[in-house]
Every structure is written in structure tokens, then in C-alpha cells.
Chains A and B, each alone.
Chain A
Amino acid sequence: MNTGEADGNVIAAVDAPTAEDGSGVIHILLLTVGPIVLALVISGALLLILGVNPLTYYAVVLERGLFTSLGLEQSITRMGPLLLVAAGLIVAFRAGIWNLGVDGQFLLGAVLAAASAPALAHALPPALVLLASAILAAIVGVVWSLLPALLRAYHGVNEIITTLMMTFLGTSLANVLVKLMFLDPATTVPQTRTLPVDDRLPRLFGTTINAGLLIGLLAIVGVQIMMAHTAFGLKLRTVGANPVAAAHAGLPVAWLTVLVFALSAGLIGLAGAVEVLGIQGNVRADWNPAYGLAVIPLVFLARLNGYAAIAFVFLFSVLSIGGESAARRVGVPTFFTLVLIALIMIILATVEYADQRARAGRAS
């Protein structure tokens, strides 16, 4: 398989019974929580060097991201699209497909949803408007993944490169669409027409959290169940873990590959719609939240497990919402949350490597 060793190992880690060694759960927990703590310490040191008191910074992040009700609601709201992206990535990665075209698929979905919703609002009842734009966004995501999918399935072309190229084109195209086709004539800043707040995704239980959260949760739990407990999921995992064995077993490898791309990109396109229909209301030109960059590490931290991904997405949402406030209050750029996440990843990988070395050396 051309996605190489790393991918095989991920699959192995997911499928190997982790309870094999008696201390399983505690061991895993230690391997995951330890690096996070260590990363907090190191980035604290970095903040000190920058002349910022890390305790103040962390306190602001936590307060604004978690401990005020508005902050918490914002953090939870942000989870909706992130969970959809995570679900899309988990499908792909567990099937051995490196869909790195997240941002293109996401933005095109977002732009199409932003363009279609206000336009349809005259013709259809609000619920149908939302449904139609969401479906349209998902379809656009799928279409944008079609070329890499077909190239991979029928010509074995490595999808890492093709999806990255498509994301490059996709982000540019999204911009072009906003500036040339779907421009709102009523505003001076280049952006699409804004969907009125009342027509957006419904709010939950009188909070500012919208139904996007439910869609995200549904998607990620559905993906987890599909991958772990259904025949279809097992087929995808077989293709991912050993495509030669899959072909030998009579699985339609090429067709399944295209299907995986479609599922993955469809979920990610839907994420774009949820972001627009639930939170933003429109798409401004040059807007790109680059969720792909953030969520790819998260799903690996979660070892491609959907439930664990929910926890990591929550953590990330808190950090990024809190980080945005902290940027204003303490003067540390928002990107610092990415530094923190990157540190966690690097330390986690190092610890994992050391652990495997130690196991190979000792009795396993």
C-alpha cells in the first residue's frame, strides 16, 4: 500500500487488543495524559521566555474557554464542525486513505451552503432550506474528492499529493466564488449574503449552542459504530490494513476506496455547512479556519477512536476559544494553541516510540 508503514501501525494499534497487557487502561491513560501535562509545562516555559506569566495565560484560557457559561457555550458550539471533520478523517484514516484535502472540501462546502441558504430562503420553509444547503455542501465535498479518489482507486496515484493539490485549488476557488459569484452587493467587504439569525440552525435548550453539535456527535458516534461493529466497517479496515489481502478476499477494493473518499469528503463538506448555517451565517473572502491542520493531530491523539476524539475535540475547542480571548487579554497570539497541540503531538509520539522500544526490549 502506498500510504506506507505509519498507517499500517496506526491500524495495528487500533485493532490490537489493548487489554493484552494487564495494566492496559492505566497504561494508555498514562501515555496520553502524561504528554499533555509535559506539553503544558514546556509551553509554560516558552511563555516565560516571551515574558508572559504562564499561569495568567492558562487561567485566562480556562476561564474564557471553560469556566464562564458564555465561553463554555462557545467552546461546545465550535465542537460541531470539528466533530464532523474528525468523523470524516477517521473514516478515511482507518481505511488507509490519507485524505489531506480537508480545507478545500470544508471551504467549498461552506461557500456553497452560504450561497444557497439565503437564495433558497424565499422559496422553501426554513427547515428545508437548511437541509437542502447541508446536502448541497456534502455533495460539493464529495465532488471535490472525486479526482483523487478515482486516481487512487484505478491508477494507484498517491492521494496525499492529489488531495493536497485539490485543497490548494479548493481554497482558491472558494475565494473566487465569494468575490465573483456570490458577492453580497449590500456590503463593502467582500462576503456572501448573510443568513438571518432566525433562519440558522436551531439553538438547543435556550443556550447559544446550536444543533450543529448534535449533527457532529451523531456523525462521530455513527462512524465509530460503523467502523467497529459493522461488516462495512470491517471491509474498509481490511482494505486499509492490507489491500492485497482485501482483493484476495474478494472485496471490491477500488469501489470501496471511492466510497471512503466520498464518505470522508461528504462529512467534511457538511462540516462547512454546519459552520456557516450554525455559526458564521456567511463566508467572508479569504476566510479559512484551517480546521484540517488542527483536527488531523487530534484524531491521531485519539488513536482514531471516535469516542476519544470527542474528548480531544472538546479540549481543543476550549483551548482555541480560550486562546482567542487570551490573545486579546494577555497578548499571546491565537496560534499559540497550535504550538501547544503540536508539542503534545511530538511528546506523545516520542513517548509512544520509547514505550515500544522498552516493550520490545523487556518481556512484552
Chain B
Amino acid sequence: MPADTLMAKPHARPQPLAAPLVALRGIGKRFANVVANESIDLELRAGEVHVLLGENGAGKSTLVALLSGLLQPDAGQIIVDGSPMRILSPGAALALGIGTVFQHVMLSPALTVAENLLLGQGWWRRPARAALDQAVGAIARDFGLNVDLDAVTGELSLGEQQQVEIIRGLLRQTRLLIFDESTSMLTPQGIEELGALMRRLVERGLAIVFITHKLDEARRFGDRITVLRLGRKVGEISSERLEALDDASAHQEIVSLMFETIKATGEAVVGKERKRVAMSGKPLLELRDITVTGQSGSTGIEAISLSVWPGEVLGIAGIDGNGQKLIAEAIAGQRRLDSGKITFGGIAIDNLDVGARRKLGIRYLTDDRLSEGSVAAFAVSANLLLKEIGKEPFWSRGFTRTAVIDVHANAQVKEFDVRTPSIRTPIGKLSGGNIQKALLARELFGDARLVIFSKPTYGLDYNNIVTSRRRIAEVGARGIAVILISTDLEEILALSDRIAVMSRGRIAGILENTGDARLAVGGLMVGGALEHG
């Protein structure tokens, strides 16, 4: 690929606003017995950020898959530049100038970041590494991203991988750029920067599709909002109307479109009565000076000491990839310590494996729902019990008791509102948010004493965020210790009793969650980052 095409330099097409770049007419897509999309009409214009909203499983990602050539519609037409097109492959979509930043990272974990970014250029060409360095450098400056091109992709945190996905989207010469929940793992600052970037891109004449579950992002970054429910388009809010509405009524209107029956609660976050935990007693979990080296270039953790008391919610804030995942894995038993000590309920657990620690009551909800949290090809029912294999009453003397497992699965699916055609559906076929709900159900089942939640609500829709946060608060209230890892500062502030801030593999500070915590946490996050960078 010649150097200049690596740069995001879309030809600014002076288009009359009336002619859409891409239009969907009566688009339909069904899977076995699920209607994912039905008679959807949509017009994507150059110069507009078009926001797609909708609850989990509404059909947003399916629509993206149709536009990016991953799936073919059963009905309707995709019209590009005025003529109907069949987009038969991802390559064809790119050739038409449609680029996509997917919801779930689609990078090859074994390759370096640079190799991933260079994939897809003709095999006969020599990798244009110098040009890539230049182009990525420009984007990184533009956008405030920080990605090491030589890091092995699989070793990066999900948030960093998401950044690589975004860079890849920007590298191609696109006319329509689709972001499927690309802000779900960014920090508030990163989100602002992506918003500003989208604005710059549409000003240069691109069309953008932006999918998010955060209503304020939709309103601030979007020019036009389309709401999907159960695969159908249930409303569109034009740019003029969006201008005219004030925040509260825009919010009200969107939420009532999205969820029909449920009225907006007005506040997305569960207010929490903060208690001062009796720190006089013995802590349940104690990390003393633990150090874990990161693999091939990723950030390790160093000299981490912290304690969690029963009934306490300890928030861990920080930019993704600053060692939060390593702390979680060290506590859960997935990583060996280089040095330091972990005690749980008074006993040293450093030498116990994952299973033994789980037996003691340690639970860990991973943020990597697809490659670590679930087995895509297994049924929902099996995934709900993946950490209980062999246990009574689901297995008896080692034999599977399908009936008991099914009863359990049906109950869990109902309680956690997992939208799935059946408990036998392979979990990989559910929408991202619904997989997340299933994993949440799995970790909250049984006798937990300590639960580590890593980004528990990422990818969940508005209502499910409310429910899930309420559940986490309840877990804390039941006397269970909670560690809440999140890049979403609002979530941390809403739920935590104390907040630890991570930066570059160290704890920059631990503070009480009182009125002025927001500023202090923000300061620690940035301060820590500046100090080294």
C-alpha cells in the first residue's frame, strides 16, 4: 500500500445533503427463529454522524455486519451512490469505501499491532512499515492514542485492542466509517477525543455511523439518531429536532423510543448510600507488595498493596491497560506472583489454583467475554455452568443431569433477562450485551465471598446497566466484598466505598469516595500518566 493511502485522507466530496452516500431500503435479516432486522430504512449522508441506538439485541451489530459485507440481507437493498449494491465480502465493503470498527475486537492475537494493521494489503507487496509508522504517528498525535506498534496484540488489554481497531478504521481510505460501541472501553477523555475526531471527519465529508449505549454521547456527538427495537426501526430524530430539544426531553424521548413500556428513571446511575466500612475488623482480602511482570511489553504490576473488607466495594479506576487486569488475574489465581503475598480470610492463597480459590468464594467476572469468559460453540446452558462442571446437583457421580441444568439455565436466563432464542443456542450467537448478562448471572450464582467485577456493564444497554449496578450494590450490601474495576468513572463513583487509582502498573492512590473524589481521582489518573509519559 503506497504511503499516501495509509493516511486517512478522504476526498472531500461536495455532496448535496439530499443525496445519501449509502441508503438502506427495507432491509431484513433473520437467523433461524430470530428476526434480527426487519424492513429497516436508513439514509447515511456525508457530513453526518448518524447514531444508532437500541437495547441489547436490538439488531445494531447485525446491521453493521450487513453494511460491512460479513452477512447478506434476506430482504431489501443497500444502495451506494444511488445504485443498488451487493456487498459480498468485507473486502468488497472496503473497496466501496465502507470501513468498520467492530464491537468485538477482530485482530489476530498472535501478530504484532503493526502486522495486524498491515494485513489486507496485497500479499505480493512488501509490508509498508515506514509508511505505517508515519501514518499511525499522525493519527496518534491527532487523537491522543498511545499504541506500541511492536506489541503482540494478544498481550494488550481489551481497551488497547479497541484503540488498535479504531486506528485500523482510520487508516483506510473510507467514505463511510462505522463505530460499533467503540467508546465502551475508553476513558472519559478518550471518549471526548473520539467525539472531536468524528466531528473533524464529517467536516471533511465522511459519513459516520456511531453505535453507543450512552445517551449523552449520542446527543453530543450525533447529528441524527435512529432507534432500533426488536430489529425494527422505531424512530428517527432529525438533526433539527435534536437541536431544538433540551437535554432532559431529548433523554426522555430517546428512552421511551428504546424501551417503549419502561419510563426513563431520569438517572442512569444507582445512587448509593455510602457507608464507612468498619475497617477495624480483619480485611477479607489482603494483597501485600505483589509484583507480576507483564508479558512481551505489556505493563506489569509492581508493589501493589491493598485490603478489602467484607461488605465493602473497592473501586479500581484508571485508564485501561494500566495493570488492572493483572491484579484481577493475580487474585483469581490465573497469574503467578513474582513476589508478594495474598491472603484471603486469613489464609495464604498464593499457591492455590483457580479452582481452589473459587471454592473459597473468590469470583472473577472477566471483561473479555468472548475469548476468556465463554465457549462460543457451547450452549448458553453449558456456559452458565462452565465454572461448576462436575458439581452437584447438576452432575451426579460425574454424569450430566440435563434436566437439572436446563431448569437452572431457564431460571438464570429469566432472572437476568438474557435474550436468547433458547438455552441451547450456542452463546456465541447472542448479542454482545446478552452474553455479558449471562456471564454476570454465572458469577453471582452460589456462595461468593469476594467478587471481582471487571467492566461489568460494558456493552449493556441503559436499562441493563441500571439493573446490573443495582445487583452489584446488593452484592456489597449482603456483606460480600467487591472489587469493581472500571474505566467508567461514573460507575466507580456511583458504587464504590473507596477508590484505588491505577497508573502504569502501580497504585497512584487510594481514597474515600466522598464529595470531592471525582476531582481527586481524575487528578491521580492524569498525574500518574504524566509523571512517566
Contacts and interface: CB of A to CB of B under 8 A. Distances in A.
A247 interface: yes
A273 to B, nearest CB: 27
A223 to B, nearest CB: 15
A242 B386 CA distance: 11
A360 B364 CA distance: 36
Nearest to A244: B372
B70 to A, nearest CB: 9
Interface string A7-20: 01001100111001
A249 B365 CA distance: 10
B374 interface: yes
Interface residues of B, number: 38
A230 to B, nearest CB: 5
Given A15-B379, A230-B399, A252-B353, A235 B390 contact: yes
B237 interface: no
B123 interface: no
A252 B31 CA distance: 36
B396 to A, nearest CB: 10
A12 B377 contact: yes
Interface residues of A, number: 31
Contact of B379 (A17, A244, A363, A364): A17
A285 B372 CA distance: 50
A362 B74 contact: yes
B399 A245 contact: no
Interface in A252-268: 252
Contact of B354 (A16, A230, A247, A362): A247
A252 B355 contact: yes
Contacts, number: 92
A244 B374 CA distance: 9
A232 interface: yes
Given A248-B366, A250-B354, A238 B74 contact: no
A250 B355 contact: yes
A231 interface: yes
Contact of A242 (B333, B355, B375): B375
A12 B334 CA distance: 26
Contacts of A231: 389-390, 395, 398-400
Given A231-B395, A242-B371, A360-B72, A247 B334 contact: yes
B32 interface: yes
Nearest to B383: A245
A251 interface: yes
Nearest to A9: B377
Interface string B362-397: 001010000111111111001000110110000100
A244 B371 contact: yes
B529 interface: no
Contacts of B377: 8, 11-12, 15-16, 241
A21 interface: yes
A234 interface: yes
Interface in A68-91: none
A16 B387 contact: no
Contacts of B353: 250, 252
B426 interface: yes
Contact of B400 (A230, A238, A364): A230
The listed residue with most B CB atoms (<10 A of its CB), out of A247, A248, A251, A362, is A248
A362 B74 CA distance: 7
B275 interface: no
Nearest to B394: A231
Contacts of A250: 333, 353-355, 357-358, 387
A328 interface: no
Shortest beta-carbon contacts, A-B, top 8: A250-B355, A231-B390, A250-B354, A12-B377, A231-B395, A242-B375, A249-B387, A249-B386
26 contacts: A8-B377, A16-B426, A17-B425, A229-B399, A229-B400, A231-B399, A235-B390, A237-B378, A238-B375, A241-B376, A241-B377, A244-B371, A245-B373, A245-B374, A247-B354, A248-B332, A248-B373, A249-B387, A249-B389, A252-B353, A360-B71, A360-B72, A361-B72, A362-B72, A363-B29, A363-B74
Interface of B: 29-32, 71-72, 74, 332-334, 353-355, 357-358, 364, 366, 371-379, 382, 386-387, 389-390, 395, 398-400, 424-426
